[in-house]
Amino acid sequence: MIFRSLMKPVFLLLWCLAAAGAYADASKVVKIGIVAPLTGFSASYGKDEENGARLAFEEANQAGIVIAGQKVRFEVDAQDDAADPKTAVLIAQRFVDEGVSGVIGHHNSGCSIAASSIYQRAGIPQISPGSSSPLYTARGLNTTFRTISNDDQMAVVAANYSVRQLGAKRIAVIDDSTDYGTNLVTEYVKAVQKAGGDIVSWQYTTTRSIDFRAILTTIKGFRPDLIFYVGQDVQAAGLVRQIYQLGIKARFMGEGGFTNENFLRLAGSSAQGMYSWEYGLPLERMPRAAELDRKMKARFGVGIVQYAPLAYDASWALIHAMQKANSTDPKIYTDALRTNTFDGVTGSIGFTRSGDLKNASATLYQEQGGKWAVLAVEHTHSN
C-alpha cells in the first residue's frame, strides 16, 4: 500500500513533466518542397541547391521563428526531378497533395515552366535558383519567382559590353539551336543593334555537332571583330580550337556554362584571351558567400559548387515573406514576396511584379594564363 501510494505522485510528476516538455516543443509544422536534378548530368548543381536550401530552413528552425504568435518548424521534402519536365510535373502534384507552403526549385527552365501551372492553381509560390528562361516568369503567373538573372537581362549586358567596352562593331553569332541558345542569341542580336553594332553573320549548329569549319569559313569571310556563341563547354572548346586553326582573328565570347576547368583543358592554348559570361556575382564578391561556404562544409562536408547561395537566398525569401505577412498560408504571404526586400548572400534580394530579380547581375570572365579571371561585373535594374 505504501509503495502504491508513493508511485502515484511519481507517475503524476513524470506525466506532467512529459506534458510540459511536449507543450514547450509544440510548434506548427510548415512543409517546404525542394526539387532539383539530384541524379544525371546536372546532379552536382541540384545537390548544391538542396544543401543551400536545407541549411537555410535548419537555421530558421534553430532561430525559433514565431509567426502569428506560434513557433514554426520547417520540414523539407527534397525530390529529384532528374531534369525531366514530365517528372517535374509529377513532383509538383505530389507537393500540392502534401500541402507544402512553398517550393524551392526547379533548377532547369523546362522543369520550372512545366510545373509552374500546377503551383499556380494551388496558389503555392515557387522560387527557382537556376531557371533563367524569360518564359518562366513572362506568362503572368503570380507564383513564379527566381533568384537568378534571366536570359534577356544577360543578353543585354553581354551585348552592351561587346559594343561599348570592347568596341566590337562587326559581330558574328552562332546559335546552338536549343531553346535556351536561340532565345539568348536573339536577344543579344537585338541589343547589339540597339547599341549601334552590326550583326554580320548569324550561323546555326546543333548540340551534337563537332565540325564547325563550314560555318566558321563563312564567318571568316565577313571579317567580324567578335564571335558570340551560346553552348556547352565541350562544344565551345571544339569551336574555339577550329577558330584558331582557321586563322580567324576575331575575339571570341561565349555564354552557357564553360567558365570551368574542363573547357580550359579541352581548348588548350586556343582559349587564350577569350571571354565568358556567367549569371550572378563571382563567389568572392558575394557579401556573405565565404560564411555560407564554411557553414556548408561543416554541415554537409562540401562547400558551395555554384547555385547554393541562390537557393539559400530563395529559402530566406520565403521565410521573410511569411514573417512580413505574419502567416504561413501561401495564399496570404505570396504578395509579401513582391514587396519585401532583404540583404542576402548574393546581394539585395527583391522581386519585380513578374517575379524576376530587381537587381540582377552578370560576371564576365577572361582566360588569362590558363585560368579564368574576373574581368567585369555588370548590373541591371528592373521594376
Q: CA-to-CA distance for 35 and 38, rounded, in angstroms? A: 8
Answer whether 169's CB lies under 8 Å from 225's CB.
yes
Angle (nearest 5°) at CA 156 between 146 and 335: 25
Q: CA-to-CA distance for 162 and 204, rounded, in angstroms? A: 20
What is the per-residue pLDDT for 260? 84
Residue showing cell 513532383: 91
Written as one string, the DSSP assignment of 131-162 is ---HHHHTT--TTEEESS--HHHHHHHHHHII
Q: In this model, does residue 23 exceed pLDDT 70?
A: no
What is the per-residue pLDDT for 257? 75
What is the per-residue pLDDT for 382? 72
What is the per-residue pLDDT for 220? 97
Percentage of the chain lying above the pLDDT 70 cut: 93
User: Half-sphere exposure (CA, 13 Å, Cβ side) for 262?
Assistant: 7
Local confidence band at 25 (pLDDT 50, 70, 90 cut-offs): low
What is the per-residue pLDDT for 179? 79
Q: How far, rounded to the nearest angstrom, does the alpha carbon of residue 95 sit from its chain's CA centroid?
A: 20
Helix, strand, or coil (residue 128): strand
User: Half-sphere exposure (CA, 13 Å, Cβ side) for 52?
Assistant: 38
Burial class (CB in 10 A: 0-12, 13-18, 19+), 102: buried
Residue whose C-alpha is closest to residue 265's, from 113, 372, 142 = 372
Q: Note the CATH number of domain 152-279+363-381.
A: 3.40.50.2300
Question: In sequence order, which residues have a C-beta less than 8 Å from that of residue 156 and are 6 or more positions away?
Answer: 187, 191, 380
If one compares 72 and 5, the residue with the highest pLDDT of the two is 72
Distance (Å) of CA 290 to CA 161, 163, 309, 347, 376: 29, 34, 10, 13, 20
Q: CA-to-CA distance for 92 and 109, rounded, in angstroms? A: 14
Residue whose C-alpha is closest to residue 380's, from 359, 355, 365 = 359
Local confidence band at 227 (pLDDT 50, 70, 90 cut-offs): very high
Residue whose C-alpha is closest to residue 255's, from 269, 282, 235 = 235
Helix, strand, or coil (residue 90): helix
Local confidence band at 319 (pLDDT 50, 70, 90 cut-offs): very high
The conformation of residue 257, written as its DSSP 8-state character, comes to S
Answer whether 355's CB lies under 8 Å from 318's CB.
no
Q: CA-to-CA distance for 23 and 42, rounded, in angstroms? A: 43
Residue whose C-alpha is closest to residue 81's, from 54, 114, 58 = 114
Domains 25-149+286-351 and 152-279+363-381 share a fold: yes
Which amino acid, residue 347? G
Q: Report domain extents, the chain.
A: 25-149+286-351, 152-279+363-381
Local confidence band at 153 (pLDDT 50, 70, 90 cut-offs): confident
Q: How far, rounded to the nearest angstrom, does the alpha carbon of residue 195 sit from its chain's CA centroid?
A: 28
Least confident of 9-13, 131-135, 143-147: 9-13
In this structure, the chain runs to a length of 383
Q: How far, rounded to the nearest angstrom, does the alpha carbon of residue 235 sit from its chain's CA centroid?
A: 23
What is the per-residue pLDDT for 42? 84
Average pLDDT over residues 91-102: 98
Local confidence band at 18 (pLDDT 50, 70, 90 cut-offs): very low
Which amino acid, residue 273? G
Question: What is the tens place of the pLDDT at every residue in 65-86?
Answer: 999 999 999 999 999 999 999 9
Local confidence band at 240 (pLDDT 50, 70, 90 cut-offs): very high
Q: CA-to-CA distance for 327 and 122, rounded, in angstroms? A: 17
Cell matching residue 235: 562544344
Question: What is the tens place of the pLDDT at every residue in 355-364?
Answer: 999 988 899 9
Mean pLDDT of the chain: 91
Helix, strand, or coil (residue 291): helix
Q: In this model, does residue 159 exceed pLDDT 80?
A: yes
Q: CA-to-CA distance for 78 and 76, rounded, in angstroms? A: 6
Residue 35 has φ and ψ, to the nearest 5°, of: -140, 135
What is the per-residue pLDDT for 15? 47
What is the per-residue pLDDT for 2? 46
Question: What is the tens place of the pLDDT at every residue in 258-271?
Answer: 888 889 999 999 99
Average pLDDT over residues 136-157: 94
Average pLDDT over residues 119-134: 96
If one compares 286 and 383, the residue with the highest pLDDT of the two is 286
Average pLDDT over residues 352-372: 94
Q: CA-to-CA distance for 95 and 322, rounded, in angstroms? A: 18
Local confidence band at 24 (pLDDT 50, 70, 90 cut-offs): very low
* pTM (predicted TM-score): 0.84
Question: What is the tens place of the pLDDT at every residue in 293-308?
Answer: 999 999 999 999 889 9
Helix, strand, or coil (residue 169): coil
Average pLDDT over residues 44-64: 97
Which helix (H) or strand (E) segment is 364 a member of?
strand 359-368
CATH architecture of 25-149+286-351: 3-Layer(aba) Sandwich (3.40)
Average pLDDT over residues 193-202: 97
Q: In this model, does residue 204 exceed pLDDT 80?
A: yes
Average pLDDT over residues 280-288: 89
Average pLDDT over residues 152-176: 95
What is the per-residue pLDDT for 146? 97
